[in-house]
Chains A and B, each alone.
Chain A
Amino acid sequence: MLSKITVSPAPHISQKLSTQRVMGDVIIGLLPAMAAAIWFFRLQAALVILTCVTACMASEWICGVIRKKENSLWDLSAVVAGLILAFSLPPAIPLWAAVIGSAFAIVICKMLFGGLGANIFNPAMAARAFLTASFGMLMTTWTVPATVDSAMPHISATNTATVTQATPLAWAKSAIKGKAEVTEANGLLKNTFWGNVGGCLGETSSLALLIGGVYLLIRRTITFHIPAAVLIAAGVFAAVFYFVNPDKYSDPLLHLFGGGMLICAFFIATDPVTAPLSIKGMWIFGAGAGALIMLIRLAGEYPEGVMYAILIMNAVTPLIDRACKLVPAGGKPHVQ
């Protein structure tokens, strides 16, 4: 009987919580958005999601074999990376490009840095940036959702294969540049909330993302700090511009519900690995991301700024961590 008794440092009990369960919760939180993506973009969406997840898992497994490390697929982080990447791709992306993106995300952005927990940049966002730089045209072709009546306005039938449509944020950008009326963009607000508009796979339905985000908050997989900081900062930023010049700048709600704002606030910025550790750091990180997104959307050349905002904030995360060093409960000791 003695041989069965083990020793280890205290504590000898632990919460029933594992990395696998944290990642599993994120996957469950993404399910409503996945359902919405498949509802709006049908087979295309299903294929892109399946390709990205499979390619990410395969890359992770191959890296494990090459590095002679234990198989790390079961922590499910590759699945999460694949899902987020798929959700931030346009529906019409060719599957070979999705495979390249997935491989870049896992091999270059995650495993080369040392695997789970060691990457500096959010793998999905870095891969998306890579795809944008490499295949600009593919990354900005926005298919019309299957549920949209093709007689609806804003649709410009281009080639024979796909019907494309400018995204709400593209309309907002055109309005800023004086090429379109701002009311056109504002008119899309309702459809933006339900998801009945063009855009990246997972970004279309604000409702589905909100449901997933609330699930994560209830499960305490994420804390409210980062989503709140992102949304408050972006909302205030957009509102200030809107109230100064409502003829040029679109409704702040369109910016909160449109594009990648919600998926960023609940799923991308909250990636624990690339966000600061302390609560104070999380507020700064979230507020910085929200403000950068709006800065790019309103003053930059791109209609959407989530990707670069996240990458920039990822890069300054170590600095934020260092600046927000915690002070012990009893104050700083006199002699260390």
Chain B
Amino acid sequence: MAEIRGKFTFPGGTHPPENKHFSENRSIEPVSVPKQVAVLLSQHLGAVCVPTVAKKEAVLAGQMIGKSDAFVSAAIHSPVNGTVKDITLLPHPVIGRTMGIVIDVDAENNEIKQPVNGQFDKTFNPENYTVEQICRAVKEGGIVGMGGAGFPTRVKIEPNPAMPKEILLINACECEPFITCDYRVMLEWTWQFLAGVRLAARAAGCEKIRIGIEDNKPEAIEVLTNAVKELGGKEDIRVVPVKTKYPQGGERQLIQSVLGKTVPTGSIPPTIGVCVLNVGTCAAIAEAVATGNSLTHRVVTVAGCAIAKPGNYYVPIGMRVEDLIAYCGGLTETAAKVVMGGPMMGFAIADLSTPLTKTSGALTFLTKAAVTRAKHEKQQTPCIRCGRCLTVCPEHLNPTRIAHAVKYFRMDIAQDYYLSACIECGCCSYVCPANIEITGYIKTGKLLQARAKRRLG
């Protein structure tokens, strides 16, 4: 195979070790049904869902168990047949604690859910579905952006006369180290993924479809390019290889790399006519529209040195981390950190009973060696003003200045240096020789800012 070199990229960024070898060659494997699942009521950006079931009520797989009337929100569904055991506070990887529905699985009446990729091939015709049908299926399926932010997909793809969308950009970069779930979806569920892409483009009214993919995945680039050729050019779909660099898969960075367009600070892509969707989300759209299934299962990458059986697993959303660890052969003795997500942007969890959510693309198990000694022992030394964080910042900010302003509660200075423009990619902390948690300080600053606004409002 000829080596594929991406031509396009963005300024800044860094090159953490990719570490995809743990799981990139492992096929997607459905896991056995756990004894209990816990479905969180807040797995997305926007309003928290209200439970639509009561304690001790029997639920069926795919049944809606929580919803919200707010525009920016997404319904949640039970992944299994069972009974509601409790509706209570549960650990959440990002926001600490939140309400969730605990369901005892009906052990005799459950089959392992298999992927539906076999139902799709190149003859799939998105024009068999109307825009309304697609939007309703996406809404009822509770589909959210599965790359990490969890923005409700319906809001993204629904036609909006105020902001017409021209280009659908598929984010197939997967620039985070360790994560391979989207890569496997592209290789194994190629036609399902492309069906979802075409459905989303039809719903959003996008004429052009661009698939941005890092050049460290030559097999996926080849498979997709051939598949697009087989479709026969009915739609304007192009696979665009981009340079391998973190955070190439940042929405704003990818738009810059592939389309050469800049999203204004503080705005979202639709303001410049672009809709960005993640690979897993597209596969979920296809499933929801074609089969009527809700988003109850997703592919999760399990990787790192500290887990016995790394791989890509097809997991019910709501499965607890400890159950998945047990399925994967358990943690090794050297485990130092359990991260929900990748090592650059993921959230370290202390409570292994935390359930997986719609946005958990990976579980990374890091050893002390992988974390590095300085980071493990939290040794921070003073900032020597070397400027490395400025050089790698993909948003051209002054991370050290913002972080130190937050450290001394000078929110005025932090805002003056564009605190809110930070995308929290973590490049600054990654390169810092003084090992300062720059990104951590900036995240704290954003929380302080939000709290201050709430108090004023």
Q: Which residues of A contact B (CB under 8 A)?
A: 1-2, 4-19, 21-22, 75, 77, 115-118, 223, 272-273, 275-279, 282, 325-336
Contact = CB atoms under 8 A, between A and B. Distances in A.
A334 B263 CA distance: 13
B394 A13 contact: no
**Residue of A11, A14, A75, A331 contacting most chain B CB atoms (<10 Å):** A11
B130 interface: no
B398 A278 contact: yes
B366 A13 contact: yes
Interface in B259-276: 262-267
Contacts of B382: 19, 115-118
17 contacts: A6-B350, A6-B376, A10-B344, A11-B429, A12-B371, A13-B370, A13-B372, A15-B14, A15-B431, A18-B381, A117-B382, A272-B384, A273-B384, A277-B385, A278-B387, A326-B397, A329-B11
Interface stretch (B228-236, B307-315, B433-441): B433-441
B345 interface: yes
B350 A7 contact: yes
Contact of B391 (A17, A22, A279): A279
B120 interface: no
A10 B350 contact: no
Given A19-B433, A277-B385, A336-B415, A14 B374 contact: yes
Interface size class of B (residues with CB under 8 A): 35 or more
Interface of B: 10-12, 14, 16-17, 177, 252, 256, 262-267, 331, 333, 335-339, 341, 343-350, 352, 364, 366, 370-372, 374-376, 378, 381-387, 390-391, 394-398, 400-401, 415-418, 420-421, 424, 426, 429-435, 437, 439-440, 443
Contacts of B386: 22, 272
A13 to B, nearest CB: 5
Contact of B384 (A19, A278, A330): A19
A222 B418 CA distance: 27
A9 B430 CA distance: 12
A305 B383 CA distance: 29
Contact of B266 (A118, A278, A282, A333): A333
Contacts of B338: 5
Contacts of A2: 352
Contacts of A14: 372, 374-375, 429-432, 435
Nearest to B443: A9
10 A-B pairs with the lowest CB-CB distances in the bound complex, closest first: A9-B440, A11-B426, A330-B265, A117-B382, A7-B348, A272-B386, A333-B266, A333-B265, A11-B344, A12-B343
Given A9-B440, A19-B384, A1 B431 contact: no
Contact of B396 (A6, A10, A11, A327): A327
A32 to B, nearest CB: 23
Given A16-B372, A75-B381, A5 B350 contact: yes
B265 A332 contact: yes
**Residue of A4, A12, A18 contacting most chain B CB atoms (<10 Å):** A12
B339 A326 contact: no
Contacts of A22: 384, 386, 433
B333 A331 contact: no
Given A9-B437, A22-B384, A333 B418 contact: yes
A91 B422 CA distance: 51
Contacts of A6: 336-337, 348, 350, 376
B266 A325 contact: no
A330 B263 contact: yes
A121 to B, nearest CB: 14
A275 B395 contact: no
A328 B336 contact: no
Given A275-B385, A336-B415, A330 B426 contact: no
A223 B392 CA distance: 13
A217 to B, nearest CB: 15
B439 to A, nearest CB: 6
A234 to B, nearest CB: 23
**Residue of B366, B387, B440 contacting most chain A CB atoms (<10 Å):** B387
B231 to A, nearest CB: 34
Contact of A117 (B263, B383, B420, B426): B383
A296 to B, nearest CB: 26
A326 B431 contact: no
Nearest to B423: A329
Contact of A333 (B10, B262, B421): B421
Contacts of B397: 326, 328
B337 A5 contact: yes
B335 A1 contact: yes
Nearest to A332: B265
**Residue of A8, A9, A325 contacting most chain B CB atoms (<10 Å):** A9
Contacts of B346: 10, 12
A82 to B, nearest CB: 17
B214 to A, nearest CB: 18
B423 to A, nearest CB: 10
B396 A116 contact: no
A272 B336 contact: no
A307 B300 CA distance: 59
Contact of A8 (B345, B385, B390, B437): B437
A12 B264 contact: no
A63 to B, nearest CB: 14
Contacts of B264: 330-331, 333-334
Nearest to A18: B433
Given A116-B381, A326-B398, A272 B387 contact: yes
A8 B415 contact: no
Nearest to B366: A12
A331 B430 contact: no
B398 A13 contact: no
A106 to B, nearest CB: 15
Given A1-B335, A326-B390, A328-B418, A13 B266 contact: no
Nearest to B416: A336
A288 to B, nearest CB: 17
